[in-house]
Structure 1
Amino acid sequence: MGQKTNIYFTLLFVYLCWGQRSNPEGERSSCNQCDLRLACNCSYGGFTCIPMVTDRALTLDLSFNDITGVTSDDLRGHRRLRALSLQGNRVAMIHPSAFDSLWSLEELDLSDNQLTALNHKWFRNLEALQKLNLLNNPYSCLGLRPVFQRLVRLRRLGFGGPALEELKRRDLSGVTELEELTVHGNNLKSYESGALGDVWPLGRVTLSLHGPFLTNTALASAVLADVTYPETPLILEDLHLIGNESVQPFRESAKRRVRKISFNNLFVSDEAIVNLLVALDGVPVTSLFMDGVTLTGEGRWEGAKQTDQKSIDEFFVRNVVVLNIFKFVSFLQLGFMLKYPRKVSVINSRVYVMPCNTSHLLSNLQYLDLSDNLLTDLTLTETMCNGDGTMKDLRVLNVSGNALKSLSTVSRQVAKLSKLTHLDISRTGYSSMPEGCSWPSTLRYLNISRAKLTTITPCLPATLEVLDLSNNDLKDFILILPALRELHLSGNKLLKLPPGWLFPNLQKMTIQANTLNRFDRADLQSYGRLQDLRAGILLCVLLWRVHAFWYVKMTWTWLRAKRSSLRRRHRRTRVGSEELPSYDAFVSYSERDASWVENLLVPELEEPRENDEDSVDQRTLRPLTLCLHKRDFLPGHWIVDNIMSAMERSRRTVFVLSENFVQSDWCRYELDFSHFQLFDGNAGGDEAILILLEPLSTDDIPKRFCKLRKLMNSTTYLEWPQDEERTGEFWRSLRHALREDEDDY
């Protein structure tokens, strides 16, 4: 009876799925949200079944739809797919062969669905899979047979959910090593020792074991024993540590010399904290993280005073809630711990003061983050011990997001910190700046962004190398800062560009979202070293001096490579032979367009063609040979020599032009250098073939590529069609262009 019922529901599912994804004409619904990189984003689309997308897709995001199942035909033919996400649907059924054609799949996300059982057949052809997420599905076990047996390249794995009740010894058979393991087992009732123990090496481990820590500490101990290694960060979520018993599993981690422990969403009592510190007595724990902590006690932890915690180097606490805040004692009782850490963070925890006596205990401190708390100018004075230089080794101080209003106060409090280099006082209430301030001579980085400043005065230290004043109310900026390398002024009310002579060493400036809407060459002449200017609508304005530097550097590189090329030619002449071209084309492209080149261009041109309607002779059927820097350059050789050698041995040069090519990283010389070789006086313009991946005009080309701009005006180029039906015509035109004058060689 049970089998008949399952068959009935299977047939019903297939019937409903076919009906729901078909329009009145009987055609399957489709998703056309694919970009030039063949990434298809079909999330939040209201789909009830897998929609049709191009079979050239590399990534397919179907998350947060209403998909209830995956049939055997839904993904057929998607052999190029690298990533597939079905997260947040209502998938209850997956056909055993649904993923059989996904040989290239590297990432698969099936989390937050309705899968009551896992089938090993889903993964039988996914040997390229590196990341698999099966979290938060209602299966109670991982199956009768090892489901991960064929996943030899798997490196990131997440499984479990509220229904997971058992883990057996062979459940992870086939998984030999992982960079990241996440297990949700809050209701785990049965665990065979060793179930997770065969995975090695093992990177970061995240465990949700709420139930076992409360009711079955032996089970929790067995799990920790299998996943704890000295170099493996251990993250524990959703724990309630109440008494001594609930802390006992950590003794297993202590035996294995754990070094990094993190707690997320932790509910903990005074007794549990004391017993945890006792359990870790003498253990070389270097980092202790707590994010989302509820303290139920009064902070009476003196029972752990005799424990050895000298190995703790970093202590991080965020989002702390103290239930009995009016009874909570000071942190002075933690003096035995506070003298060791070099890095302490207490973030968004409603801290209104850290008493000076506590600050004196932090004798080894180099980094202090008290951001997003309730500090005021008065309580900051107490925390910094009225500026007496306490915490003498402090290098980084972050008090951003507090109710601070006086810049002169904070400057006095840090003036004697003789090693301070970084100060973050952003997101505060500073509205004015005094004429003079005292700062440590070591201060190099100052962040006062997102305050309310209207004017700038000599209060700012002349030693600064990086200054962030973005999102204030500044109308001008007139101040000499001779050491400044970076200046961030976005989100103000500037009417004009600050004079460049004020910052003789400035290399980077951001001024987006200001009142100024243009500037000319004269405004930029005084910026002698500026390399990066980000000005919103002014992105098309190029620094004239930056052009000059670029040309000088590239000309020197060109001459050096030219001499190397001439030497190679002379050697060939002496032996009386001329080297024949080794490639039909050298391909110049942006790394961000690599997926299009590697997954479409290369297979289309280099694979043999058995039938082509344009084929008229055997020569046309011959596959082409392409030279790609990633694949064909010789290791250990100078990059420019590789480029010149490749271009000399190629009959054509193909430029794959896009916004990425001309705007993203113009100074990545290993790609841009090819322009110099192409536009040498000995090279004819017809040697170049231009492919436009997206609409692009000569106005979009940087002026320093003047030859390329001229070429675009004089040479016919091929445009990658947005209409899939025209791709065949595009490939025929490209092959024809590459084979022109082939007989001359």
Structure 2
Amino acid sequence: MRYLTNIYVLTCAFTFTLWNNIQPTVEDEFIANYSSSLLTNVPKTIPVCTQVLDLSHNRISGLSISEFIHLSDLQVLNLSHNLMTVLDFSVFIFNENLEYLDLSHNNISKVSCLTLASLRHLDLSFNKFTALPICQEFGNMFHLEYLGLSATMVRTSDFRYIKHLQLHTVFLNLGNFSLYEPQSLTVLTTRNLHIAFAANQNFIFSLLYDGMCISENLKIVNLRYTLSYKDFPSPSLMLLKKIKTTTLTLEAVDLQWAIILQIFMLIWCSPVEHLTVRNLTFRGPLEELTEYAFQPLLSSVEQLISLDGSMKALTLEHVRNKVYYFNQEILYRQFSEMNIANLTIADAYMPHMLCPNRTSSFQYLNFSHNALTDELFQNCGTLADLKLLILQRNKFESLRKVSFMTSRMKSLTYLDMSNNLLRHDGAGVQCQWAESLAELDLSSNQLVDAVFECLPANIQKLSLQNNHISNVPSRVAELKSLQELNLASNRLADLPGCGGFTSLQFLNVEMNSILTPSANFFQSCPRVRELQAGHNPFQCSCELQAFIQLERRSGGKLFGWPAAYVCEYPEGLRGTELKDFHLSPLACNTTLLLVTALLLTLLLVAAVAFLCIYLDVPWYVRMTWQWTQTKRRAWHNPPADQEAILQFHAFISYSERDSLWVKNELIPNLEREEGSVQLCQHERNFIPGKSIVENIINCIEKSYRSIFVLSPNFVQSEWCHYELYFAHHKLFSENSNSLILILLEPIPPYLIPARYHKLKALMAKRTYMEWPKERSKRPLFWANLRAAISINLPISSEANE
């Protein structure tokens, strides 16, 4: 039943935590949150079906029955942090299902009571009550488990109405306290008692003693006593027989050493098993407490702790020492000789701790956040039962000395040396670790690659996070038992191999400098079940493709995929998840890329060769070369040898097979009249000694027109092609209209070779003259031809002579 009660209280607390994130709108039909809405009255729009209602952190000053009468299903009501001064429980008379009622942090000073039979949780703490507001009707709340109260005085009769109730937790807020009648708390029956005293008041220690007599778990906040320790009321020996507390927590303690030691002596002899003291400040006025006066107290404690007691665990956290004149070694000796299993002294600026003189019962030691150095527990053989040792946030520097410290701890299984100044230079000095050590935390130190030369042989879990490790040496001592390795936040450039870690199952290499992790990791580490490699500056390139494929084959072994695996380089891909990064196989396979490039080159060469042959490109190259050479020679000839003026009306280009028509028809008809037309014919006008190509070029340049006699024979003549090429070149170079095409016989397109593409273009774009078969049409043909070549040629020097 009590276990179920604990679950209920925790559930209610969790529910209130969630309320803080809900807006003043009803997101669930059973939950209504109006917290921090500046309300001065209870809203009238609360849904009838509401079961959980939060009205905390508002300005509500009063309640009425009409505001809650329609909320018959209400179970949880939070009215904390408001401005109410008077509370009348009759307001909730119609809320029969109400179980949780929080009215803390108001200004309530007066209460009118009414039995709320279903109530389990009632909190009236942090109000302005003078006396405890415990009405007679509270005694009828048989389901009440949590009761929070506040007052400035506590009297013996205050708890008489509820002494028969089996309360789970009682919280007393005693701010501005003025009166406590001894043994007033002893009538209560509760498992957990929490007392919060005012920070600026002297604590009444009879509250502590009475509280220890009624509850198993006692927590007290703000123990402060500024009077002389000589006036401190010492507890009686009879008190020891009445103490029920097994777990005691003291927070914000500011006492003189003598008082602390008296309380400690009481606790040591009591049934208390777990003592926790947080924010402890111990002091001693120099005029009253010198080292000589302090020594007898310490001696008494030293004798006392040698006896067997109930204490199992002592925790001292955030300790501040304001006693300056006493031998601290005596204090360290007392702590080291304690016959307890668990000891925690954290954040106490402790510079040293002595090794116990006899075999110690310590199984757990936590000395974190102190000033301990490498001299701790050197050559100490009395901690044979120690299993867990936490020394984080100290000033250890030598990893080798740390290993020697553990060498004689035969039962040590866990060691935390994180956040120190540890180094290891690997100078060849062997390390000696406890053979039983299974888990070691060396994170946040100054360790480098040499650390792998100084590790426990039987280690199973190893954390080297946040160090300066850049590589895991391939020849490291075999750690056959290592199952978990944390190398996050180091300087690794690649995934480590598992040559020396044959049993490795979990590896963390997050936040390193890994650009392109190796793709054969799981092959070298077959037993790894989880790899954490996210949050590295991945370079998304071909080398990374294999790692991405590795994730698909690993079956979910990459922890944090895909959100933690993002491209960092190149700049254009920054922020792209690796799962969205793809490159074609051709771009990433060098062999395939070379083969493809070679094939494409061969295809390109073959295509170019085919086109050259098909389009007779070599022929055009030769002709261009001939033209260029002829022009070059003409440019370098002296001006006297140049005859750049026109000498002929037309240059005739024809096939030798068509020469009869040219000689019998064309030339006679055009040169019929003397001096009318001057034709350039190769048989009579080519200059002996010059090349044919040079003669062709010269004749074309000295002629006003070029007449081409087209026929099937023409397209079969290579020299005709030369003449057509050079005439076409002149057409474009001089922007002239010098070509005349005479179609002597029809030419089927299929007879025109591919290299005669210029002829095809000319016949398609230019008007040509057809030789008429009818004689009646021939005079018109000759008239048109003469008109086309009609021009007054300039008189040359030869003519003048």
Distance (Å, rounded) in 1 between the aligned partners of 2:536 and 2:51: 40
Distance 1:194 1:277, change over 3 A: closer
Q: Secondary structure at the match of 1:135?
A: coil
The residue aligned with 2:445 is 430
Which deviates the most, 182-191 or 416-425?
A: 182-191
Structure 2 CA distance, aligned partners of 1:179 and 1:460?
55
Work out the CA distance in 2 between the residues paired with 1:164 and 1:447: 54
* 1:399 alignment counterpart: 391
Number of the residue aligned with 1:133: 123
For residues 243-276 of structure 1, the C-alpha deviation after alignment (integer angstroms, 9 at most, x for no partner) is: 2653534756522244333221112223223333
Q: 1:37, 1:446 → 2: CA distance? A: 50
Mapping of residues 706-725 of structure 1, within 5 Å: none
Matched residues, percent identical? Answer: 19
Q: CA deviation at 1:370?
A: 1.6
| CA gap 1:451/1:103 in 2 versus in 1, 3 angstroms | farther
Output aligned runs, 1:336-415, within 5 Å: 338-351=337-350, 353-355=351-353, 357-358=354-355, 363-375=360-372, 379=373, 381-385=374-378, 391-404=383-396, 407=399, 410-415=402-407
Of 246, 249, 254 in structure 1, the residue corresponding to residue 232 of structure 2 is 246
1:293-304 paired onto structure 2 within 5 Å? 293-297=280-284, 300=295, 301-304=298-301
Q: Confirm whether residue 463 of structure 1 aligns to residue 481 of structure 2.
A: yes
CA shift for structure 1 position 321: 0.6
Residue 301 of structure 2 aligns with an amino acid whose one-letter code is A
Matched, 1:205 2:193: yes
Match of 1:227 in 2: 214
Structure 1 match to 2:109? 116
Comparing 488-497 with 250-259, greater Cα deviation is found at 488-497
Asked whether the equivalents of residues 212 and 218 of structure 2 are also in contact (C-alpha less than 8 Å), the reply is: no
Partner of 2:761: none
Tell me how far 1:178 sits from its aligned partner.
Answer: 2.5
Residues 176 and 198 in structure 1, CA contact (< 8 A), matched pair in contact too: no
Q: Summarize the Cα distance change of 1:364–1:220 in structure 2 as closer, same or farther, 3 Å threshold.
A: same
* Structure 1 pair 34–464 and aligned structure 2 pair: CA distance change class (3 A): farther
Q: Could you tell me how far 1:135 is from its partner in structure 2?
A: 1.8
**Aligned counterpart for 1:260 among listed residues 218, 242, 247:** 247
Distance in 2 (CA, whole Å) between partners of 1:503 and 1:195 is 68
* The 10-residue stretch of structure 1 (480-489 or 290-299) with the greater mean CA deviation from structure 2: 480-489
Give the CA deviation at 1:148.
Answer: 2.5
Distance 1:196 1:296, change over 3 A: closer
* Amino acid in the other structure paired with 1:310: D
1:419 counterpart residue number: 411
Structure 2: runs of 5+ lacking an equivalent: 1-21, 285-290, 421-443, 566-576, 580-801
Residues 274 and 303 in structure 1, CA contact (< 8 A), matched pair in contact too = no
Contact 1:310 1:337 in 2 (8 A): no
Task: Find the aligned partners of 2:478 and 2:30 in 1 and give their Cα distance.
Answer: 49
- Asked whether the 8 Å contact 1:490–1:512 carries over to 2, the reply is yes
AA in 2 matched with 1:315 = L
Task: Pick from 181, 184, 191 the counterpart of residue 173 of structure 2.
Answer: 184
Offset at 1:296? 0.6
Name whichever of 146-155 and 331-340 sits farther off: 331-340
Which residue among 87, 90, 99 is the counterpart of 2:92?
99
TM-fit CA distance, 1:323: 0.9
TM-score by length of 1: 0.56
**Cα displacement (A) at 1:37:** 8.8
Q: Which residue of 2 aligns with 1:478?
A: 496
Cα deviation, 1:500-540, whole Å, max 9, x if unaligned, reads 45665555666665556998563264469x6x94458369x
Q: Does the 8 Å CA contact 2:170/2:192 hold for their aligned counterparts?
A: yes
C-alpha separation in 2, matches of 1:344 and 1:479 = 40
Could you tell me which amino acid in structure 1 is paired with residue 417 of structure 2?
I
Aligned partner letter, 1:204: N
Q: 2:57 maps to what in 1? A: 64
Cα deviations by residue, 1:182-215 (Å, 9 ceiling, x for unpaired): 2233555555677544544x32222346799958
Contact 2:154 2:184 in 1 (8 A): no
Cα shift at 1:319: 0.7
Tell me if the contact between 2:57 and 2:82 (Cα under 8 Å) persists in the aligned partners.
yes
Change in Cα spacing, 1:261 to 1:341, as seen in structure 2 (3 Å) is same
| CA 307–430 in structure 1, closer or farther in 2 if over 3 Å, else same | closer
TM-fit CA distance, 1:170: 4.1
TM-score (norm 2): 0.53
Equivalent residues in 2 for 1:315-714 (5 A)?
Answer: 315-325=314-324, 327=326, 329-332=328-331, 334-335=333-334, 338-351=337-350, 353-355=351-353, 357-358=354-355, 363-375=360-372, 379=373, 381-385=374-378, 391-404=383-396, 407=399, 410-428=402-420, 429-435=444-450, 436-441=452-457, 443-449=459-465, 463-468=481-486, 476-480=494-498, 481-484=501-504, 499-500=521-522, 515=537, 522-523=550-551, 525-526=553-554, 533-535=559-561, 537=563
Cα distance change of structure 1 residues 424 and 485 upon mapping to structure 2, 3 Å threshold? farther
Aligned counterparts of 1:478 and 1:85: Cα–Cα separation in 2? 56
Letter in 2 for 1:238: N
1:310 to 305, 308, 311: 308
Distance in 2, Cα, partners of 1:495 & 1:44: 50
**Alpha carbons 2:202, 2:224 under 8 Å: kept:** yes
How do 1:255-294 and structure 2 match up within 5 A? 255-257=241-243, 258-280=245-267, 282-294=269-281
- In 1, distance between residues paired with 2:483 and 2:334? 36
Residues of 2 paired with 1:145 and 1:382: CA distance? 62
Matches within 5 A, 1:142-221: 142-143=132-133, 145-146=135-136, 148-161=138-151, 163-166=152-155, 168-173=157-162, 176-185=165-174, 188-189=177-178, 196-200=185-189, 202-208=190-196, 220=207
After superposition, the Cα gap between the structure-2 partners of 1:188 and 1:64, relative to the gap in structure 1 and judged at 3 Å, is: same
The answer to whether the 8 Å contact 1:425/1:448 transfers is no
Q: Which has the larger radius of gyration?
A: 2
Per-residue Cα deviation, 1:44-75 (whole angstroms, up to 9, x for no partner): 44434444554444544443333333333444
Higher relative contact order (CA 8 A, sep 6+): 1
1:78-93 matches, within 5 Å, as: 78-93=71-86
- Could you tell me how far 1:358 is from its partner in structure 2? 4.0
Tell me: CA distance 1:503–1:119, structure 2 relative to 1, closer, same or farther (3 Å).
Answer: farther
Distance 1:101 1:521 in 2: 67
- Judging changes above 3 Å, is the alpha-carbon distance between structure 1 residues 263 and 430 closer, same or farther for their aligned structure 2 residues? same
Cα 1:184–1:247 change in 2 (3 A) is farther
Distance in 2 of aligned mates of 1:253 and 1:482: 60
Letter of the 1:240 counterpart: R
